[in-house]
């Protein structure tokens, strides 16, 4: 994909809902035919349930404000009252929680094809005493069970076709302090500003550590993961929604390794230079890449995420996605639309026309510009007002002929400073351009009822863009002025796109929109209307299922390597009279580090090697890409350990004073000068890269370079070597972890393993561990057809270090180098115990 192109939807996704659903059905049929289990359920994990719960048997005590408020919607329906679940006779009264209408509408629409589970926090428990809350600690286990029963029969009052009993609501219970520190603390004070390019010192009203609420964030995410594990069934698809739950994917992966899980991030994702300021950046990224698929609103956000993974955490990027120790996380984008059908129905409400007529009468003869935003620092209300002021200054002919109606609904967290700034700016504009019979700016800080909202939609010029386009279908086809920074900007390219920080640009767009000809209005509207009504919230939800089913196919075709069974390993070890141990070094006995010379063995590693090699029944070899000097410096004091250096180019048998044997003496090594010259060329042009000269190979390291530039240069260098040199010389080019190595084609670790097998034909137990591509040669040499010894296959333990999904020839896996050492210490520990008992 062109890195500079920003498609709104992926190729093939810009289709009708019926087509997407048919594609989903075809995918499911293929999976079932292939024996892949599917439960027909989709688990949607959201911050809170779209349901309010009132406990009528509790007296209630005053508690912090609801989080988020029960009327968090920007648009409040006329009938926003508690709605009983009908047949519910328990202590609970259930009502609709407004907000995130597109998300909930999309999820419920899937009830036509799948069983839906919405897993979310209960929200603050309401009391029958007005204005009071019930502390969650006061809710008994019986009452909690009663709420779950009530939710099983709950249906929203609105009888839409997509509201079906196939949607089940699963509550997550959080302690009040954890819930509020999670949301009001870490989510709103740390993550929300950061994801909108605001560093905390720019908006903070007091000095608060950005780590202050992380424990609550982690605790809340752990509670969600545990709840998912309780209700999960094999074959379920799991979608985790938004920035409140970024740790959940990894936590669920630990609890349910085979789960198929996606993460949808509804907020923007900032560039790596902004994200790296987050103190818990690694924990957040590690949590996110536990998913099989991460989906963003736009292509640019997905690019930012990939760049952040590479630059901040050093993860590898491949065509399949982000590679973290062998676990691949695919990255995609799929914007959320609106529920076009519901908006269309709402526009027919009988109360709208009278309010529309009243607006036209009130502002007769004047053009109306409407802005509707939450009063949040990231929503640009100040910039919009400043732009309107600039508009009146630049185009004075509009003074007295245009009114600007700005509606600001309460944000989820109060901002007194912003409220004061907005009020002062409105007063300044009205004082400068107003008169006794004309007020240019009307500011309403309140939640609108639906009829009022849609009346403005029908008569205004700029408002909630997608609903506005649908509302204008039957009226004046008025244009939309839209910030190019909004996530939907690529969706609304026929809008008047502006940089909100360029006040003159916004003012000019207002002027252009007010003077736009009727044919141009019609042309722009028709194109916008087609997009808005095609890619709806229902289509978005169906596409999520389709994408996750695609990941299920990839998971099933990739062989998952099982974790090494400690009891079996120990049993086979103790039964054997002679054992062979082959260890890689970097990434196997020592973790990968940025500076190669800092990869020194730990005390437990040295202890394990010393105890293993001290047993005369054990033959222990370190088979590494390191040179002999490094191995002797750090491991040479272990006399009974043998070494192979430079990927099999050299070998030294166990024992004091044993010489190094060079297996490349008879090989043509004249190619080294040519490769050195090529590597020197790329080293000079890649700051931070170095060339490592060995006796039998040459390695170019770019771990210290800019990760994206280093990877690009590595691919260029690899292409040059393979196409211009490798076919002429007896060499092979190996791509390693942040390095590129050239070595003789006849020299590799597998040849050393074969040699050691030949020298030890009586071995009854083999343990071989490695972590990268060069170690696959060892594993290949130990596959039963190649293993010509009379050893039982179940006594050969080839072990890859990394995730179970890592592509490898090994039979077993462990996750980290520390686990290799722990398993080895377990072997020698039991051996010593046996000896003491004899």
Angle between helices 299-313 and 707-724 (to 10 degrees): 90
Q: Residue 650: pLDDT above 50? A: yes
For residue 446, what pLDDT band results from cuts at 50, 70 and 90? low
User: For the chain, give me the number of helices (H) and strands (E)?
Assistant: 27, 32
Distances (CA, A) of 435 to 364, 391, 400, 784: 17, 18, 9, 92
The tokens for 106 are 């999309």
φ, ψ at 44 (rounded to 5°): -105, 120
Q: What is the mean pLDDT of residues 663-692?
A: 91
Q: Where are the domains of the chain?
A: 26-49+100-124+161-333, 340-535, 566-663+747-837, 671-744
Q: Residue 836: pLDDT above 90? A: no
Q: What is the pLDDT of residue 372?
A: 76
Element spanning 753, H or E: helix 749-759
pLDDT tens-place string over residues 372-419: 777 777 777 888 899 999 999 999 999 989 988 888 877 655 577 888
Q: Residue 540: pLDDT above 70? A: yes
Q: Is 163 exposed, middle or buried (0-12, 13-18, 19+ CB in 10 A)?
A: middle
For residue 598, what pLDDT band results from cuts at 50, 70 and 90? confident
Question: Is the CA virtual torsion 525, 530, 533, 536 positive or negative?
Answer: negative
- What's the rounded Cα separation, in Å, for the pair 498 and 486? 10
For residue 736, what pLDDT band results from cuts at 50, 70 and 90? confident
- What's the rounded Cα separation, in Å, for the pair 116 and 165? 9
Q: What is the mean pLDDT of residues 546-552?
A: 88
Question: Is the CA virtual torsion 785, 789, 795, 796 positive or negative?
Answer: negative
Tell me if residue 781 falls in helix, strand or coil. helix
Nearest partner of 561 among 797, 381, 291, 739, judged by Cα: 797
Residue 474 or 430, more confident: 430
Q: What is the pLDDT of residue 470?
A: 77
For residue 209, what pLDDT band results from cuts at 50, 70 and 90? low
Number of Cβ within a 10 Å radius of residue 402? 22
pTM: 0.75
Q: What is the mean pLDDT of residues 344-357?
A: 70
In 676-807, the DSSP E strands lie at 690-693, 698-701, 731-736, 739-744, 765-770, 796-801
The tokens for 111 are 């009830």
What CATH number matches the domain at 671-744, 2.40.220.10, 2.30.38.10, 3.30.70.1020, 3.90.79.10? 3.30.70.1020
Nearest partner of 228 among 267, 254, 200, 194, judged by Cα: 254
Residue 255 or 257, more confident: 255
Q: What is the pLDDT of residue 508?
A: 92
The sheet carrying 167-172 orders its strands as 167-172, 115-121, 41-48, 237-241, 260-265, 293-296, 327-333, 321-324, 316-318
Tell me if residue 590 falls in helix, strand or coil. strand
- What's the rounded Cα separation, in Å, for the pair 246 and 195? 13
Task: Decide whether 340-535 matches 671-744 in CATH topology.
Answer: no
Q: Residue 218: pLDDT above 90? A: yes
Q: Residue 231: pLDDT above 60? A: yes
pLDDT tens-place string over residues 73-83: 444 444 444 44
Residue 610 or 445, more confident: 610
- What's the rounded Cα separation, in Å, for the pair 209 and 501? 30
CATH number assigned to the domain covering 340-535: 3.40.50.2000
Residue with tokens 């099983």: 152
Tell me if residue 592 falls in helix, strand or coil. coil
Tell me if residue 399 falls in helix, strand or coil. coil
Q: Residue 8: pLDDT above 80? A: no
Q: What is the mean pLDDT of residues 408-433?
A: 82
Question: Is the CA virtual torsion 384, 390, 396, 397 positive or negative?
Answer: negative
Q: What is the pLDDT of residue 452?
A: 54
Q: Which residues contact 636 (CB under 8 A, 6 or more apart)?
A: none
Element spanning 642, H or E: strand 641-645
Q: Residue 354: pLDDT above 80? A: no
Q: Which of 9-13, 116-120, 153-157, 725-729 has the lowest mean pLDDT?
A: 9-13
Q: What is the mean pLDDT of residues 227-251?
A: 95
pLDDT tens-place string over residues 513-539: 888 888 888 888 888 888 787 778 888
- What's the rounded Cα separation, in Å, for the pair 714 and 741? 10
Residue 636 or 555, more confident: 636
Contact 626, 654 (CB under 8 A): no
Q: Residue 830: pLDDT above 50? A: no
φ/ψ region of 326 (left if φ > 0, alpha if ψ in -120 to 50, else beta) reads: left
- What's the rounded Cα separation, in Å, for the pair 151 and 107? 17
Q: What is the mean pLDDT of residues 553-560?
A: 59
Q: Residue 179: pLDDT above 50? A: yes
Q: What is the pLDDT of residue 100?
A: 75
Q: Residue 464: pLDDT above 70? A: no
What CATH number matches the domain at 26-49+100-124+161-333, 2.40.30.10, 2.40.320.10, 3.40.50.2300, 3.40.50.2000? 3.40.50.2000
For residue 217, what pLDDT band results from cuts at 50, 70 and 90? very high
Q: Mean pLDDT score of the chain, rounded to an integer?
A: 83
For residue 69, what pLDDT band results from cuts at 50, 70 and 90? very low
Contact 297, 333 (CB under 8 A): yes
For residue 468, what pLDDT band results from cuts at 50, 70 and 90? confident
Q: Which residues contact 312 (CB under 8 A, 6 or more apart)?
A: 272, 275, 276, 281, 282, 285
Q: Residue 833: pLDDT above 50? A: no
Pairing of strands 115-121, 75-76: unpaired
Question: Is the CA virtual torsion 777, 781, 783, 785 positive or negative?
Answer: positive
Q: Residue 206: pLDDT above 70? A: no
Q: Which of 58-67, 131-140, 539-548, 612-621 has the lowest mean pLDDT?
A: 58-67
pLDDT tens-place string over residues 683-729: 999 999 999 988 888 999 998 898 889 989 999 999 999 998 988 88
Tell me if residue 153 falls in helix, strand or coil. coil
φ, ψ at 72 (rounded to 5°): -80, -5
Nearest partner of 443 among 468, 414, 423, 421, judged by Cα: 423
Tell me if residue 203 falls in helix, strand or coil. coil
Nearest partner of 594 among 707, 487, 493, 485, judged by Cα: 707
For residue 248, what pLDDT band results from cuts at 50, 70 and 90? very high
Residue 31 or 476, more confident: 31
Contact 692, 699 (CB under 8 A): yes
Instruction: Indicate if 437 belongs to the active site.
Output: no
First to last CA, the chain: 67
- Spot the catalytic one: 74, 323, 584, 777: 584
- What's the rounded Cα separation, in Å, for the pair 506 and 391? 8
pLDDT tens-place string over residues 104-150: 888 888 888 888 899 999 999 988 888 788 999 988 898 999 999 88
Does the structural domain 566-663+747-837 have CATH classification 3.40.50.1860? no
Q: What is the pLDDT of residue 3?
A: 39
Residue 529 or 166, more confident: 529
Q: What is the mean pLDDT of residues 793-812?
A: 88
Residue 16 or 603, more confident: 603
Residue 794 or 377, more confident: 794
Q: Residue 181: pLDDT above 90? A: yes
Q: Residue 5: pLDDT above 50? A: no
Q: What is the pLDDT of residue 226?
A: 96
pLDDT tens-place string over residues 807-822: 889 999 998 999 999 9
- What's the rounded Cα separation, in Å, for the pair 238 and 258? 11
């Amino acid at each position: 994909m062109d890195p500079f192109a920003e498609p709104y939807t992926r190729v093939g996704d810009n289709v009708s809902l019926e087509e997407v659903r048919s594609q989903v059905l075809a995918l499911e049929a293929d999976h079932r035919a292939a024996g892949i289990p599917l439960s027909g359920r989709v688990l949607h994990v959201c911050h809170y349930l779209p349901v309010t719960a009132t406990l009528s048997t509790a007296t209630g005590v005053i508690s912090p404000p609801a989080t988020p408020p029960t009327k968090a919607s920007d648009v409040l329906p006329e009938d926003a009252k508690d709605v009983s679940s009908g047949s519910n006779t328990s202590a609970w009264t259930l009502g609709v929680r407004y907000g995130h209408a597109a998300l909930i509408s999309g999820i419920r629409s899937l009830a036509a094809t799948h069983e839906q589970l919405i897993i979310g926090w209960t929200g603050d428990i309401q009391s029958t005493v007005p204005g009071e809350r019930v502390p969650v600690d006061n809710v008994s286990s019986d009452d909690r069970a009663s709420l779950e029963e009530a939710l099983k029969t709950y249906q929203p009052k609105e009888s839409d076709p997509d509201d079906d009993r196939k949607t089940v609501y699963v509550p997550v219970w959080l302690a009040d302090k954890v819930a509020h520190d999670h949301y009001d603390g870490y989510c709103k004070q740390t993550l929300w500003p950061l994801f909108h390019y605001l560093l905390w010192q720019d908006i903070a009203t007091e000095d608060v550590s950005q780590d202050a609420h992380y424990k609550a964030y982690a605790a809340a995410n752990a509670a969600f993961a545990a709840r998912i594990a309780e209700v999960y069934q094999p074959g379920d698809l799991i979608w985790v929604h938004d920035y409140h739950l970024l740790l959940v994917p990894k936590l669920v992966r630990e609890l349910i390794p085979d789960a198929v899980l996606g993460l949808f991030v509804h907020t923007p994702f900032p560039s790596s230079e902004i994200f790296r300021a987050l103190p818990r950046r690694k924990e957040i990224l590690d949590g996110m890449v536990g998913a099989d698929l991460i989906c963003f609103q736009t292509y640019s956000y997905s690019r930012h995420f990939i760049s952040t993974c590479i630059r901040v955490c050093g993860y590898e990027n491949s065509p399949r996605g982000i590679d973290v120790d062998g676990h691949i996380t695919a990255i995609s984008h799929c914007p959320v639309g609106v529920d076009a059908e519901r908006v269309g129905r709402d526009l027919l409400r009988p109360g709208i026309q009278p309010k529309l007529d009243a607006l036209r009468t009130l502002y007769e003869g004047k053009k109306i510009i409407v802005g509707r935003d939450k009063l949040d620092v990231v929503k640009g209300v100040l910039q919009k007002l400043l732009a309107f002021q600039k508009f009146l200054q630049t185009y004075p002919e509009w003074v007295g002929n245009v009114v600007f109606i700005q509606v600001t609904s309460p944000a989820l967290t109060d901002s007194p400073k912003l409220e004061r700034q907005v009020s002062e700016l409105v007063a300044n504009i009205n004082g400068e351009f107003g008169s006794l019979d004309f007020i240019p700016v009307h500011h309403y800080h309140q939640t609108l009822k639906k009829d009022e909202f849609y009346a403005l939609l029908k008569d205004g010029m700029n408002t909630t863009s997608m609903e506005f386009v649908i509302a204008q279908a039957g009226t004046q086809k008025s244009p939309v002025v839209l910030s190019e920074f909004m996530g939907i900007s690529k969706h609304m390219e026929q809008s008047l796109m502006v940089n909100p920080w360029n006040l003159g640009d916004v003012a000019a767009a207002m002027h252009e929109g007010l003077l736009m000809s009727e044919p141009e209005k019609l042309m722009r509207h028709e194109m916008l209307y087609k997009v808005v009504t095609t890619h709806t919230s229902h289509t978005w939800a169906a596409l999520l299922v389709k994408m996750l089913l695609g990941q299920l196919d990839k998971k099933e075709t990739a062989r998952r390597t099982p974790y090494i069974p400690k009891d079996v390993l120990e049993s086979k070890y103790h039964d054997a009279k002679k054992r062979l141990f082959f260890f890689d070094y970097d990434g196997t006995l020592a973790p990968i580090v940025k500076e190669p010379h800092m990869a020194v063995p730990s005390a437990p590693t040295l202890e394990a090697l010393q105890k293993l090699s001290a047993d005369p029944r054990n033959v222990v070899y370190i088979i590494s890409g390191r040179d002999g000097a490094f191995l002797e410096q750090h491991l040479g004091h272990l006399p009974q350990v043998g070494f192979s250096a430079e990927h099999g180019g050299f070998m030294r048998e166990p024992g004091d004073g044993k010489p190094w044997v060079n297996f490349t003496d008879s090989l043509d090594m004249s190619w080294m000068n040519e490769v050195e010259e090529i590597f020197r060329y790329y080293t000079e042009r890649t700051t931070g890269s170095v060339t490592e000269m060995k006796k039998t190979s040459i390695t170019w390291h770019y771990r210290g370079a800019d990760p994206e530039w280093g990877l690009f240069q590595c691919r260029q260098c690899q292409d040059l070597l393979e196409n211009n040199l490798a076919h002429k010389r007896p060499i092979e080019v190996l791509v390693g972890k942040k390095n590129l190595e050239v070595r003789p084609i006849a020299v590799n670790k597998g040849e050393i393993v074969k040699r050691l097998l030949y020298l030890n034909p009586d071995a009854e137990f083999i343990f071989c561990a490695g972590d990268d591509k060069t170690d696959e040669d060892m594993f290949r040499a130990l596959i039963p057809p190649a293993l010509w010894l009379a050893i039982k296959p179940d006594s050969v333990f080839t072990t890859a270090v990394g995730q179970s999904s890592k592509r490898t020839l090994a039979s077993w896996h462990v996750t980290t180098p520390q686990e290799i050492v722990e398993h080895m210490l377990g072997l020698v520990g039991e051996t010593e115990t046996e000896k003491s008992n004899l």
